[in-house]
């Protein structure tokens, strides 16, 4: 009996899954998407590309590091633990009974070694970096990436910013195919890892500060969002993000409140996305609106 396949790809740090064509076994098109180079103790997102059936079974293993998260899914997180060479292996057993093994070899360098790109580290300034001054909210993901940004809008609001003259107002309506949406502040604009980001190692930055507030919906519920720093690049691109920090999903308050992401010990040598905000359809009734302001590395 022929079955429809499912396609999975890792793009912009998120797994996209959609129905593919019905037909014969498509195992031969599978590969492990992984960067050529990674740094010690930095998280690396890996994924199997191609199409697979809903009942296919996955199993990840590795040498030269450790794997985090479930090992029986199309994606996994790899953390290098020593300089040298690491191999990540995926064993995939299809619902038809076929088995394939795919692997990827990753060169592991020291945590402070540059991976690539013509970047000049800043001096240790001690001056906060205002994200809005150097990064652009151009990284639309999930339902936000639908044509015309149908489910997400981002606008400048001058009504009641945390700091004059304005803040960012974001609205999200559920109903898109992904069930989630995200916006990344990128450098340069629309950079998913094909170009070098900013080298912020010399800034002495220890944390990211975000001020946010939410608007209650018709039932009085406040928005639930997640804040991230770093990440948001395709691991197969030439310049994958050098770090990623993700906070928990939090319920915003109706008044301005500060949220902190810790950067201590993180490699800031290639920051393509300084800040990311994530929203989930499961947390939304008819729609949510919230405000962001004064996003700073300090």
pLDDT at 55: 82
Q: Which residues neighbour 282 within 8 Å (Cβ) at sequence distance 6 or greater?
A: 179
- Mind listing the pLDDT tens digit for each residue in 186-228? 999 999 999 999 999 989 999 999 999 999 998 999 999 999 9
Tell whether 213 and 241 lie within a shared domain. yes
Tell whether 274 and 145 lie within a shared domain. yes
Supply the pTM of this predicted model.
Answer: 0.61
H helices, E strands: number in the chain: 1, 22
Tell whether 251 and 154 lie within a shared domain. yes
Tell whether 52 and 137 lie within a shared domain. no
Tell whether 198 and 82 lie within a shared domain. no
**Do residues 183 and 278 make contact, with C-beta atoms less than 8 angstroms apart?**
no
Query: Cis peptide before 165, with omega less than 30 degrees from 0?
Result: yes
Would 122 be classed as within a structural domain?
no
Structural domain of 208: 129-297
pLDDT at 125: 60
Would 76 be classed as within a structural domain?
yes
Alpha-carbon distances of 231 from 19, 31, 259, rounded to whole Å: 26, 22, 18
Number of domains in the chain: 2
* 143: three-class secondary structure by DSSP: helix
pLDDT at 114: 41
Tell whether 173 and 52 lie within a shared domain. no
Tell whether 76 and 168 lie within a shared domain. no
Residues of the chain scoring pLDDT < 50: 1-27, 112-123
Of all helices (H) and strands (E), which one includes residue 225? strand 224-230
For residue 93, the cross-strand partners are 57, 99
pLDDT at 124: 55
For residue 15, the cross-strand partners are 10
Last residue within a domain, chosen from 81, 109, 137: 109
């Amino acid at each position: 009996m022929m079955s429809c396949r499912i396609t999975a790809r890792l793009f912009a740090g998120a797994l996209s899954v959609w129905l593919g064509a019905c037909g014969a076994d498509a195992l031969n098109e599978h590969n492990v998407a992984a960067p050529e180079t990674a740094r010690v103790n930095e998280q690396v997102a890996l994924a199997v590309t191609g199409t697979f059936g809903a009942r296919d079974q996955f199993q990840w293993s590795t040498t030269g590091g450790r794997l985090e998260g479930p090992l029986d899914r199309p994606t996994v997180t790899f953390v290098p633990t020593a300089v040298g060479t690491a191999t990540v292996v995926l064993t995939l057993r299809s619902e038809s009974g076929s088995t394939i093994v795919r692997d990827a070899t990753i060169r592991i360098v020291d945590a402070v070694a540059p991976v690539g790109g013509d970047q000049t580290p800043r001096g240790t300034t001690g001056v906060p970096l205002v994200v809005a001054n150097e990064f652009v909210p151009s990284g639309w993901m999930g339902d936000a990436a639908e044509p015309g940004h149908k489910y997400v809008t981002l606008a400048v609001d001058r009504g009641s910013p945390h700091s004059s003259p304005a803040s960012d107002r974001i609205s999200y309506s559920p109903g898109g195919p992904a069930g989630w949406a995200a916006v990344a502040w990128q450098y340069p604009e629309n950079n998913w890892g094909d170009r070098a980001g900013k080298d912020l190692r010399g800034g002495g930055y220890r944390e990211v500060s975000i001020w946010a507030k939410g608007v209650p919906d018709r039932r009085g519920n406040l928005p639930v969002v997640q804040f991230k720093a770093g990440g948001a690049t395709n691991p197969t691109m030439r310049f994958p993000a050098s770090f990623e920090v993700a906070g928990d999903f939090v319920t915003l308050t109706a008044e301005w409140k500060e949220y902190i992401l810790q950067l201590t010990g993180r490699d800031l040598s290639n920051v393509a996305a300084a800040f990311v905000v994530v929203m989930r359809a499961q947390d939304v009734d008819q729609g949510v609106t919230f405000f962001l302001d004064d996003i700073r590395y300090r």
